[in-house]
Amino acid sequence: MRTPPRLFRPFLLAAALASGAVAPFTPAQGAMVLNVGLAGDPGPLDPAQSGNFIDRNVFAAICDKLIDTDADMNYVPQLATRWEWSDDQRVLTLHLREGVRFQDGTAFDAEAAKVNLDRYRTLPRSLRRAELAALEAVEVTGPFTLRLRLQAPSAPLLAALADRSGMMLSPAAIQQRGEAIGQRPVCAGPFSFTERVAQDRIVVDRFDGYWNAAAISIDRIVYRPITDSTVRLLNLRSGSLQIVDQVAPTDVAEVQSNRRLRLARHVAAAYRTLQFNVAHGPRAETPLGRDPRVRQAFEKAIDREAINQVVFNGLFVASNQTEAPGSRYWNPDHPVGGADLAAARALLRQAGITRVPFTLQLANTPVDGQIGEVIQSMARDAGFDVRLEQVESNAGTQKNQAGDFDAALLTWSGRSDPDANLSIWFACNGPFNFGRYCNPRMEALLGEARGLADPARRAPLYRQVVDLYRGDAPHVILYHYTWLWGLSERVEGFVPNADGLIRVQGLRLRP
């Protein structure tokens, strides 16, 4: 059988990297070149059109944002040095950093920031429009002062400005290149874009005019997309790569046993959830779709920690909420428990049924297949006959959007604001609410919490949100990821972050 080129390519790349054949660059003698293995090939390098997690690792080197987050997802200054809300929470004032230049030499100021924000919220193909939907007007009130007027209070705006909606491109480059700017982005970050070869490499070089140049000691970064985690590890061991992301849990022991390698980790904001079809077409017209008791029974049949141990060697975090256990918006009234088969069977009896057949849609990956088999085995003893359907990710999305599913295992990469981790699924018009769950009380709670900036006032509302979705059970959240990076002994100053991104500030590479 002929091997598909895209499947075969990583092995060719591994051999070439290990032998040094794929290294056409000749940096100046003594230059520090960092080679990074990414779990996939990034999409367009235009923050307006970017939709993949992988893209954000490259953006972290080339495009500073108005606001950043620290290792634990707290907001910290970047291109904005400070900000404040008006008393009615409908105006956010940003005070911008002076002396910043884009990589084409043009100055960054409030006018430049306005160009970017207006582009993100009006460009027809912009994926940022939903994030900035509450933004009514962007006003320049001084050379380095920006006022954002909102249609209604929206605390999650800060999270958007700490992600791609806050990345600043050169207005001159935007005007010159238009929607093609993703082919050669010009930002205000520490590294400037140099070269891209699809499926092979993205090269960025240190920008000497960077406002925080003292934090940068690497001269060049070469990002290598390598989808196979085993191949990434092979090249880390050989020294061809110095950092790899998304180390497979099964490879952790090998990294830890190698004296020339180190493992970095951080509990992730990202999580996996099993979404039920409760109101989207004929496939919702089942006991599983109609009766929350049946979905609650399914949850009680699942031992999350067992999934973690069997599939992820105990390295991930069993979780039943959109926020990681122990974090600010976690609800301690709902601890993560094990399976309770007696309680599961009792709930099914209350619903008047004994056996529940349904199909669980999964991605066509070995890991998802293993998760599905564990769930299938657990649920069988409680009265659930689970059929596994593994589909290609784009095909799975199309089926979900059409309501052609009973239940689907999905992923969210996580955000710094709790609303961004909730509304996508639980708001009646949430973009990933494929099962069309809709509860007016949930809508009211999400809206009220969105209008508050003070975490101490938001937390009690989000605890009520957890009470609701745990009761209605439109989802069964299974676990939070742990981000795992493999590092060469040459790498110093690496700080693991909950968002999974490789930040270049402070990174050093020993000769």
Which CATH number characterizes residue 215's domain?
A: 3.40.190.10
Return the pLDDT at 29: 65
- Regarding whether 394 and 292 lie in a shared domain, the answer is yes
Of 47, 42, 146, 62, residue with least CA distance to 96: 146
Q: Domain boundary residue among 159, 182, 205?
A: 182
Q: Do 413 and 301 lie in a common domain?
A: yes
Regarding whether 307 and 172 lie in a shared domain, the answer is: no
Q: Buried b vs exposed e over 50-62: b needs ≥16 C-beta within 10 Å?
A: beebbbbbbbbbb
- Which H or E element spans position 158? helix 157-161
Is 77 strand, coil or helix? strand
Claim to verify: residue 385 and residue 346 sit in the same structural domain: yes
C-beta separation of 297 from 383 below 8 A: yes
Same domain, 124 and 136: yes
Residue that the structure tokens 């003893």 belong to: 381
Whether residues 87 and 27 fall in one domain:
no
Q: pLDDT tens string for the chain (511 positions)?
A: 333 333 323 333 444 443 333 344 455 667 899 999 999 999 999 999 998 889 999 999 999 999 999 998 999 999 999 999 999 999 999 999 999 999 999 999 999 999 999 999 999 999 899 899 999 999 999 999 999 999 999 999 999 999 999 999 999 999 999 989 999 999 999 999 999 999 999 999 999 999 999 999 999 999 999 989 999 999 999 999 999 999 999 999 999 999 999 999 999 999 999 999 999 999 999 999 999 999 999 999 999 999 999 999 999 999 999 999 999 999 999 999 999 999 999 999 999 999 999 999 999 988 999 999 999 999 999 999 999 999 998 899 999 999 999 999 999 989 999 999 999 999 999 989 999 999 999 999 999 999 998 999 999 999 999 999 999 999 999 999 999 999 999 999 999 999 999 999 999 999 8
Domain boundary among 147, 182, 217: 182
In this structure, are 68 and 58 located in the same domain? no
CATH number, position 441: 3.10.105.10
DSSP assignment string, 420-474: HHHHHHHSTT-TT-TT----HHHHHHHHHHHT---HHHHHHHHHHHHHHHHHH-S
Statement to judge: residues 149 and 122 lie in one domain: yes
**CA pair distance 134, 336, nearest whole angstrom:** 35
241 and 275 inside one domain? no
Closest CA to 204 of 187, 192, 188: 192
**Cβ contacts of 59 within 8 Å, gap of 6 or more:** 45, 47, 50, 164, 167, 187, 189
For 268, other C-beta atoms within 10 Å of its C-beta total 22
Instruction: Please tell me the distance from the alpha carbon of residue 448 to that of residue 458, in angstroms, as a whole number.
Output: 8
What is residue 84's predicted lDDT score, i.e. its pLDDT? 96
Q: How far apart are CA 379 and CA 390, in angstroms?
A: 18
Query: Do residue 379 and residue 508 come from a single domain?
Result: no
**Are 311 and 376 contacting, i.e. CB atoms less than 8 angstroms apart?**
no
Q: Is 338 helix (H, G, I), strand (E, B) or coil?
A: coil
Alpha carbon of 479 to those of 1, 171, 267, 269, 288: distances in Å? 37, 42, 11, 10, 22
Q: How far is the C-alpha of 416 from the C-alpha of 323, rounded, in Å?
A: 10
Instruction: Say if residue 151 is in the same domain as residue 170.
Output: yes
Across 110-144, b (16+ Cβ under 10 Å) vs e yields bebbbbbbebbbebeebbbbebbebbeebeeeeeb
Contacts of 99 (CB under 8 A, 6+ apart): 211
Q: Please give the pLDDT value at position 21.
A: 34
Residue where the block lists tokens 């031992």: 303
The tokens describing 163, both together, are 């992600």
Task: Please list, residue by residue across 468-486, b when 16 or more beta carbons sit within 10 angstroms of its beta carbon and e when fewer do.
Answer: bbbebbbbbbbbbbbbbbb
Q: Which of 152, 182, 212 is the last residue of a domain?
A: 182
Domain span including residue 407: 268-482
Number of structural domains (the chain) is: 3
Check whether residue 44 and residue 95 sit in a common domain. no
70-90 burial, b for 16+ CB within 10 Å, e for fewer?
A: eeebebeebbbeebebeeebb
**CATH code, domain carrying 156:** 3.90.76.10
